[in-house]
Each structure stands twice: as structure tokens, then as C-alpha cells.
Structure 1
Amino acid sequence: MRRKEKEIKDTKEIEKILEEASVCRLAMVDGDKPYIVPMNFGYRDGILFFHSAKQGRKIDLIKKNPNVCFEVDQLIRFKKAKMACEWGLEYKSVIGSGRALLLDNIEEKIKSLHIIMSQYSQRTFEYPDEMLEKTLVIKIVIDRITGKQS
């Protein structure tokens, strides 16, 4: 990171940003181009979980190359000023990478879906068998992570 004074080094603070985020942008490799999608997700103990349909561009790309990157952020406030170049943004963000695994085992999917739903709600949910059959879970074990604030 070029601006070391903006780096978040405290792992607890990085985890707090992940735990409070509602959207995670997941980036994959499509040939020589990046492909990124905003997704709802769950985070627990250094692992990200996403749910997906079993088919589609995202799944095809992960099967070809499981190396992924992700980003979450918290917008705190816009900093307004008289001069355009003095405007700014106060935020916290986390960027990391890992290797995506596709989970299709029913028990693994249920555990993962509970983690995803706990990101947004304290309720306990049940998942109909027909939906579980149509769903795939993307599990990412994080291997690199950085935090930044401005």
C-alpha cells in the first residue's frame, strides 16, 4: 500500500468491516480481462461464503481459474469543499484474495447458507430441498487481506 498511514493493520478492525458489510464484490479472471460481480455474502473465521445458481458465467470462470479477489467497503461520509479537487470520501475498505471452492454437498450448503444469512439477520432459516438442489455455494479461504481507511 502506497499510503501506509491509511492502512488498517488491526485484524480485529478488518474483521469488523467484513462482518458489518452488506455487499462483497467478487472478481474473477475471464481470459485476459477481469470480471466482477456484487454479491451478498457471509464471513466467518477467515472464510467468505456466497450462494449462486449452479450455472452461469461466474461459475464457469471459477471452474477455469479458482483464483479470486474481493472487496468490501463502508462509506462513512462525503467530504464537501469549495474546490472540486478538495472533495473527498471518508471510508473503510477491505481487499483480499483467495481460492474459490464450489460446494455442492447438501450439509455443507446448509451450514454455509446459515453463515450467509447470519450476515443479515439473527433469525434461523430453513431451506427447501428444491432450492438447495438448485444452489451452489462458493467458499473462499482468504489468503491475503488488506484494510484501508481514508
Structure 2
Amino acid sequence: MRRNEKEVTNTKDIEKILMDNKVCRLAMVDENKPYMVPMNFGYSNGCLFFHCAKQGRKIELIKKNPNICFEVDQLVKLNKAKLACDWGAEFKSVIGSGRAQFLEDSKEKKAALNIIMSHYSERVFEYPDAMLEKIIVIKVAIHEMTGKQS
């Protein structure tokens, strides 16, 4: 990181940025081009969890290459000024990489869905088997992540 004073190194602080935000951008490689999608997510014990339909571009890309990159950010404050070059932003962000895998077992899917839903709600949910069969749950074991704030 070029600006060391902006780096967040404490794992708990990085995890707090993840937990405080609601959208994670998941990036994959499509041959030699990047492909990124915003997704709802959950985080627990060094892993990210996502769910989606069984078909689609991201599923095909993960099957070809399970190595992914992710990003979460939060605009804290926009600092306006008279001159354009004096504008700035206060923000928090996390960028990382990991390896994606598809969860097949219904117990694992339910546990992952509980992690995702707990990120957005305090309610407890039921997941009918028919619904579980229609979705894919993606688990990303995080290999590295860095935090930044300004």
C-alpha cells in the first residue's frame, strides 16, 4: 500500500468494515478480461458466503477458475471544497482474494444462508428443501485481505 498511514492492519478492524457494509463486489476472470458483480454476502471465520441462481456467468467463471477477488467499501463523508483539487472523501474499504467453492450439502447451505441472513436481519429463517435445490451457495476461503481508511 502506497499510503501506509491509511492502511488498516488490525484483523478485527478489517472484519468490522466487512460487517458494517452490505454489498460485496466479487471479481472473477473471464479469459483475459475482469468480470465483477455486486452481491449480498455474509462473513464468518475468514470466509465470505454468497448465494445465487445455479446458472449464470459468475457460476461458469468460478467453475473454470475458482480464484476470486473481492471488495467492500463505505463512503463515510464527502469533503466538498471551492476548488476541485481540494475535494476529498473519507472512506473505509477492504480488498482481498480467496478461493471459491460451491457448497452442496443442505446442512452446509443452510448454515451459510444463516450467516448471510444474519448480516441483514436478526430474524431466524427456514429454508425449504425445494428452495435449497434451486440455488448455489458459494463459500470463499479468504487467503488475504487488506483494509484502508481515509
3-state SS of paired residue (1:34): strand
Q: Percent identity?
A: 69
What is the aligned-residue RMSD (CA, Å)?
0.7
- How big is the shift at 1:70? 0.3
* DSSP 3-state at the match of 1:99: strand
- Normalized against structure 1, the TM-score is what? 0.98
Alpha-carbon shift at residue 97 of structure 1 (Å): 0.2
AA in 1 matched with 2:14: I
Counting matched residue pairs gives 150
Mapped to 1, the partners of 2:123 and 2:135 lie a distance apart of 20
| Secondary structure of the corresponding residue to residue 133 of structure 2 | helix
Residue 137, structure 1, aligned to residue 137, structure 2:
yes
Q: Equivalent residues in 2 for 1:9-88 (5 A)?
A: 9-88=9-88
Deviation of 1:128 (Å): 1.9
Runs of 4+ in structure 1 deviating by more than 3 angstroms, as ranges, are none
Instruction: Report the TM-score when normalising by structure 2.
Output: 0.98
Q: How does 1:55-134 map to 2 (within 5 A)?
A: 55-134=55-134
Structure 1 segments unaligned to the other structure (5+ residues): none
Following superposition, the deviation at residue 129 of structure 1 comes to 1.9
Q: How far apart, CA to CA, are the structure 2 residues paired with 1:3 and 1:27? A: 24
